[in-house]
Amino acid sequence: MGLRLSPEKTLITHIDEGLDFLGWRIQRHRKRGTSKQYVYTYPARKSVKAVTRKVKTLCRRMDTSQPLDALLRQLNPALKGWCMYFRPGVSSAVFGYLSYYTWLRVGRWMCRKHHRSGWKDLRRRYCADGWWPASEERSLFNPAKVSTTRYRYRGAVIPTPWPTTG
């Protein structure tokens, strides 16, 4: 087939220094409280920066004459897709940061839309349950509530060598 590694593109690094691959940062760290070391996979800085840039551009590009529902219709699929991709890794801290950043950007959009209103009025108008923005139909997707899961074994069931009666 004639496949060869390109010396310009190939980089050999130590696992302690880590590497970025498909948006993931793969690096070995010492586990807190012990002397054991484990390999962790978490979202790379570049992918976190890309999703925050997307949230920022969507909030800036959305016209303030539109309702909040139009903004949420664009933001929610982008956030949900990104979170589901990075769900299997060590991502809960990044999800918390993304939740904070998104809330801040949507809050700024609401302030631009109603520049004469204070936070109390904005909360009464847009936040149904506490501080989280919501419209009549949908609420802002909260990345902090996404639970991180590890990979499950998806293989076939191993048959038992003993005959079963009954």
152 in a structural domain: no
Tell me whether residue 11 is in a domain.
no
pLDDT tens for each residue of 88-121? 999 999 999 999 999 999 999 999 999 999 888 9
Q: Does residue 61 form part of some domain?
A: yes
Phi and psi, residue 60, nearest 5° = -75, -35
Per-residue pLDDT, averaged over 16-40, amounts to 91
Asked whether the CA dihedral 53, 72, 106, 63 is positive or negative, the reply is: positive
64 occurs within a structural domain: yes
This prediction has a pTM of 0.82
Share of the chain above pLDDT 90, in %: 57
Is 40 part of a structural domain of the chain? no
pLDDT at 153: 65
What pLDDT sits at residue 74?
A: 95
Count of domains in the chain? 1
Measured CA to CA, the distance from residue 18 to residue 22 in angstroms comes to 13
Residue 136's pLDDT is 86
Instruction: Look at residue 26 and tell me if it is in a domain.
Output: no
Residue 33 within any structural domain of the chain? no
Stretch 35-57: mean pLDDT, rounded? Answer: 95
Domain of 53 in residue numbering reads as: 45-145
Half-sphere exposure of 116 (CA within 13 A, CB side): 0
With a cut of 80, say whether residue 75 has pLDDT above it.
yes
Residue 19 counted as domain residue: no
